[in-house]
Amino acid sequence: MNELEQKGYKAKKASYELGHLSSVEKNQGLLAVSKALWEKRGKIIEENQKDIKNAKERGINEALLDRLTLTEERIRSMAEGLKQITQIEDPIGEVAIMKKRPNGLQIGQKRVPLGVIGIIYEARPNVTADAFGLCFKTGNAVILKGGKEALFSNIAIVNIIRDTLFTAGLSRDAVQLIEDTQRSTTLALMKLNQYIDVLIPRGGQGLIKTVVENSTIPVIETGVGNCHIYIDEYADINQGVSIAVNAKTQRPGVCNAMETLLIHEKIAYPFLSELFPILASFSVEIRGDEKVKNLFPTVSKATEEDWSQEYLDYILAIKIVSSLEEAMDHIQLYGTGHSEAIITQNYTRAQRFLEEVDAAAVYVNASTRFTDGYEFGFGAEIGISTQKLHARGPMGLKELTTTKYIIYGTGQIRM
């Protein structure tokens, strides 16, 4: 049995123990880990600085560097996220349905853990704590495979979690980290279906595509975010500018950041005249269609590839459209089913957008940056699912469970 199989075996064994912990025991474990992460924040930041140094030497861009960086405030958020999870009702053991059949059998559905969850993710070490917290609360063991960019940070966080669980008399194998960053190890993990029940990739399009094409484990796809904001002809310009700036610049390296801005032609010039100076202050590169270039000749020309790009950077594609229908058609063609928004004061057009746009999260007059487990009140998230089976949108506790039928009889036999 190689090292990867040993981790899988330990995780499967730990999942049996975790599945029978009470809500009180799980919450006590989460609170202990929350406290430990904050108390040992200095060690986490020290290790994170090693990752940042290596990333800078490799020339990583500023947006991705931001995703990698851990500050005291971000560690505080990690710790608070675990606390918030303890305050959310535990779904495990919930009996959703119980019906009596004509033959006297009582048949119900009970919510249970998935078992062992594998998570492959890139340069966001905060995911390490979020993934542990959600999996632990739902009685799942988790095997983590982070990117090489965050290796030192992830090792520090996982070691603190494991040591804290052990001290609390709980299984440290509830969370395990694969430290080998070789591609061959990642591919081997994708085929460890004898131990792992579900695999969740969290990262860019390339990572998700690789996992979907190579995994023999059921996969929940997450997070490619080619997100759009449509500025309708009935938009409040000041509100629209504020939302667009937030959606592009607040954290451009995350999946819910806006990548394409669509604007109705009747409002395009006054809106862009207000927007461009603010985006320039953030050094955002604009790539506009022909209509945008006609109004503002200095912007770069957008190519066909720009409409389907998840930049994760200070780059924004802009297209001027002649109607709400054209905007929705563009989103249908190029969107990834993540988060889409309309800015309008027209109720009827807002409702049409909500009804007709197919995405995990659809907004009216708000930034796409809110598509997030913490913002939705889940405490944290395991990822943003853009598929339609089992889970869609921010995945919290319930999405990390399944059900089993429980049947009560009084001696019935089938004739």
What one-character-per-residue DSSP string does 50-70 give? HHHHHHHHTT--HHHHHHH--
* The pLDDT of residue 379: 64
Give the pLDDT of residue 93. 94
Q: Tell me the average pLDDT across 272-276.
A: 97
Is residue 156 within 8 Å of residue 170, measured between CB atoms?
no
Torsion of the alpha carbons at 284, 287, 289 and 295, rounded to the nearest 10? 50
Tell me what the mean pLDDT of segment 125-137 comes to.
94
Q: How far is CA 333 from CA 206, 249, 308, 344, in A?
A: 20, 25, 9, 22
Encode pLDDT of 78-123 as tens digits.
999 899 999 999 999 999 889 999 999 999 999 999 999 999 998 7
Please give the structure tokens belonging to residue 335. Answer: 């969107």
Mean pLDDT calculated for residue range 60-87: 90
- Given this model, what pLDDT does residue 224 score? 79
Among 298-307, 346-355, 385-394, where is mean pLDDT lowest?
A: 385-394
Rg of the chain on CA atoms, in Å? 23
pLDDT of residue 378 exceeding 80, the answer is no
Residues ≥6 apart with Cβ < 8 Å to 407: 105, 106, 107, 108
**Topology annotation, domain 227-370:** Aldehyde Dehydrogenase; Chain A, domain 2 (3.40.309)
Predicted pLDDT at 366: 97
Q: Which amino acid is at 68?
A: L
More confident residue, 357 or 203: 357
- pLDDT(204) > 80: no
- pLDDT value, residue 97: 87
Q: How far is CA 288 from CA 230, 271, 285, 296, 327, in A?
A: 14, 14, 10, 9, 15
Judged by DSSP in three states, 33 sits in helix
Query: In whole angstroms, what is the distance from residue 200 CA to residue 394 CA?
Result: 13
Question: In sequence order, which residues have a C-beta less than 8 Å from that of residue 365 and are 6 or more positions away?
Answer: 239, 243, 341, 342, 343, 344, 350
Which amino acid type is present at position 169?
A: G
Domain 3-222+382-408 CATH class label:
alpha beta
Which amino acid type is present at position 86? T
Strands 141-145, 175-177: pairing is parallel
Sole residue written with tokens 């802009």: 318
Bridge-based pairing of strands 300-301 and 393-394 is unpaired
* Residues ≥6 apart with Cβ < 8 Å to 223: 202, 203, 208, 255, 338, 383, 384, 386
pLDDT at 396 over 80: yes
Asked whether the predicted pLDDT for residue 381 surpasses 80, the reply is: no
Residue 34 has pLDDT above 70, yes or no: yes
Summarize pLDDT for 278-330 with one digit per residue, the tens.
999 999 999 999 999 999 999 999 999 999 999 989 999 999 999 999 999 99
Q: Token pair of 225, please?
A: 């975010």
Whats the size of the chain, residue-wise?
415
Look up residue 174 and give its two tokens. Answer: 């509830």
Highest mean pLDDT among 233-242, 365-374, 390-399: 233-242
Euclidean distance between CA atoms 371 and 367, whole angstroms = 9
Tell me phi and psi for residue 331, to 5 degrees.
-65, -40
Q: How far apart are CA 320 and CA 323, in angstroms?
A: 9
User: Which pLDDT belongs to residue 284?
Assistant: 97
Reply yes or no on whether the pLDDT at 401 is more than 80.
yes
Beta strand segments in 86-152, E: 95-100, 106-113, 116-121, 141-145
Does 185 score more than 70 pLDDT? Answer: yes
Spell out the domain ranges in the chain. 3-222+382-408, 227-370
Q: What is the mean pLDDT of the chain?
A: 94
